[in-house]
Amino acid sequence: MPQEVKRRYFELIRQGRSGSEAAREVGVPLSCGSKWFIEAGSVTVNEEVPISSRYFSQDDRIEIADGLTSGEPVRSIALRIGKSFQSVYREIGRNRKPDGTYQPWFAPSQAHLKRRRPKSRVFEYDAALRQVVAEKLAARWSPGQISRWLRRCHPFKIGWHVCVETLYDAVYRGLIIGANPVRDLCTNRAYRHRRGRGRSRGGAMKQSPAGPR
């Protein structure tokens, strides 16, 4: 079946049309549409346009599936769609079906489900934790000591088991009321050095909103 027919079928499903209506409009039997839907695993992606050009579009995924079916090398597929072959290998590995096959209508749903969602920082909503950490910092405890103390003294409060990096981040973001990085941290810096590779949009270091006192 031409890919354009399948594409139109899934577009109608995403718009809220029933399987029988979508199959009738594209001119295929209901059993055929049902088979496509089962093979796709479900339809959870509502956006057809990718977030940016770095991400795979539906057209890219169709090209990948067609190339794999015809036995085309992955490097050749990547060159044709304008992506690196490493990215194509990762796309196939991450979003293929449990049986190992790559299905262009199954892959976007998997990518959507696996996409990282922004999470609230624990110090933004837990006032009790903020108060406890502020008291320890005022007593000249280091973030490492605070992290170990929280795990040891509050073993059943999993949300309080924060790592050292999270504590540093909270201080430099000004989430701990009354805390000052120059006064309370052993680094005595008003700037936070960037961890890991690369640079953020704001540069390699982040200045504390509180500033030195």
pTM for this predicted structure = 0.42
Question: Considering the chain, what is the average pLDDT of its residues?
Answer: 75
- Reading the block at residue 167, the tokens are 């504590």
Condensed to tens digits (0 to 9), the pLDDT of residues 33-70 reads: 777 766 665 555 444 555 667 788 877 888 888 888 88
Condensed to tens digits (0 to 9), the pLDDT of residues 116-165 reads: 666 678 888 888 988 888 888 888 888 889 999 999 999 888 889 888 88
Distances in Å between the Cα of 183 and the Cα atoms of 92, 142, 147, 168, 179 are: 50, 11, 19, 13, 8
Buried b (16+ CB within 10 A) or exposed e, 75-109: eebbeebebeeeebeebbeebbeeeeebbbbbbbb
In the predicted structure, residue 13 carries a pLDDT above the cut 60: yes
Helix (H/G/I), strand (E/B), else coil: 109: helix
Q: Which one is predicted more confidently, 150 or 206?
A: 150
Q: Which of 72-76, 140-144, 182-186 has the highest average model confidence (pLDDT)? A: 72-76
- Reading the block at residue 30, the tokens are 């209901």
Which ranges of the chain does DSSP label H, i.e. alpha helix?
3-14, 19-26, 30-40, 58-69, 74-81, 85-95, 107-114, 122-125, 127-138, 143-153, 164-172, 181-184
Q: Residue 138 in contact with residue 184, Cβ under 8 Å?
A: yes
Helix (H/G/I), strand (E/B), else coil: 96: coil
Place of tokens 């910092």: 137
Q: Give dist(CA 169, CA 145) in Å, integer.
A: 16
What percentage of the chain exceeds 70 in pLDDT?
68
Q: Give dist(CA 161, CA 135) in Å, integer.
A: 17
- Reading the block at residue 63, the tokens are 């090209």
> Where along the chain do its domains lie?
3-114, 122-207
